[in-house]
Amino acid sequence: MQAWQVHQNGEPGEVMRLDEVELPVPGEGQVLLKVRAANINFPDALLCRGQYQIRPPLPFTPGVEICGETEDGQRVIGNPALPYGGFAEYAVADAAALLPAPEALDDAEAAALHIGYQTGWFGLHRRAGLEAGETLLVHAAAGGVGSAAVQLGKAAGARVIGVVGGADKADVARELGCDVVIDRRAEDVVGAVKEATGGRGADVIYDPVGGEAYTQSTKVVAFEGRILVVGFASGSIPSPALNHALVKNYSILGLHWGLYNTKNPKLVLHCHEQLTELAGRGAIKPLVSERVPLGGAAAAVQRVADGVTTGRVAVVPSLDGAAV
């Protein structure tokens, strides 16, 4: 079979290599899946660089989120068990962690319902306790993680402010349903948020970026607001001034969604049921901005790493032809 492999750490476009390899052999409790679609996540780039918290032995196949097909023809979604990731014709996954793919979504959309939407649901509902009528601020609102948070926030009845980088991404954020869109390249984020909220600020702030975005969040969080830290796409990990949190009465909440798979997997299943119901009635629909064949995976991962994509980019092995 064909599979992208990383033989040394570095930038995805430089170190990912399409190889002909043997079919992976599932271990105890694992299953072999035919990959129907694999969505690209920022952690895939970090895995290539050797900067992710999990460092599989070289060589490995990246691709942490797939919609696959079991041997008996069931369509499922899940996280492949590295080193046999999803940027391949076949992947391996833990059988107990597989979830049924929602019928309302195609393969790429179904795969995209997993990490980003589970992160958004756990973050907004379980960690931050978002309520209808509250104001939600989402950084990187047009990205894969941010777009999920925008849709989930709207589905929960929140007023959503989206922060993006560029006019094209601003258009995407509006189409996603943001009530207010702020282009950080053209506007002062802090001033714009204060103006949009009458000086009150945002009740919940969803931050997958870190760095300057986090600093801005501390300046616009409302009284008893919650800043939800879900990642550091900027590459800069902030050091919170806890005296500032004290005097402004706000909370700083961390979310590592993957922990729920080991600490409380029943909640992951419950979340999937909620997401499936929302997708079934059209309240959420993953934004898949591009579908590329297997041969285009390395270039696509690099584009995600460079921050020039919107929504999710999906690798679909069944597509014919070369990537554009």
pLDDT tens-digit map of 18-50? 999 999 999 999 999 999 999 999 999 999 999
Q: What span, in angstroms and rounded, lies between the C-alpha atoms of 267 and 259?
A: 11
For 111-121, letters b (16+ CB in 10 Å) and e give bbbbbbbbbbb
Q: How confident is the model at residue 323 (pLDDT cuts 50, 70, 90)?
A: very low
2-105+286-319, superfamily in CATH?
Medium-chain alcohol dehydrogenases, catalytic domain (3.90.180.10)
- Confidence (pTM): 0.91
Cα separations in angstroms, 148 against 90, 142, 190, 191, 281: 27, 9, 23, 25, 16
Q: What angle do CA 22, 290, 279 make, to 5 degrees?
A: 95
Looking at the chain, which residues constitute the CATH 3.40.50.720 domain(s)? 117-258
**pLDDT reading at 202 higher than 80:** yes
Looking at the chain, which residues constitute the CATH 3.90.180.10 domain(s)? 2-105+286-319
Q: What would the mean pLDDT of 227-233 be, rounded to a whole number?
A: 92
Q: What is the pLDDT of residues 120-175, one digit of tens each?
A: 999 999 999 999 999 999 999 999 999 999 999 999 999 999 999 999 999 999 99
Q: What would the mean pLDDT of 201-228 be, rounded to a whole number?
A: 97
**pLDDT reading at 12 higher than 80:** yes
Q: What span, in angstroms and rounded, lies between the C-alpha atoms of 16 and 148?
A: 28
> What pLDDT does 320 receive?
57
Q: Domain 117-258 is in which class?
A: alpha beta
**pLDDT reading at 227 higher than 80:** yes
**pLDDT reading at 324 higher than 70:** no
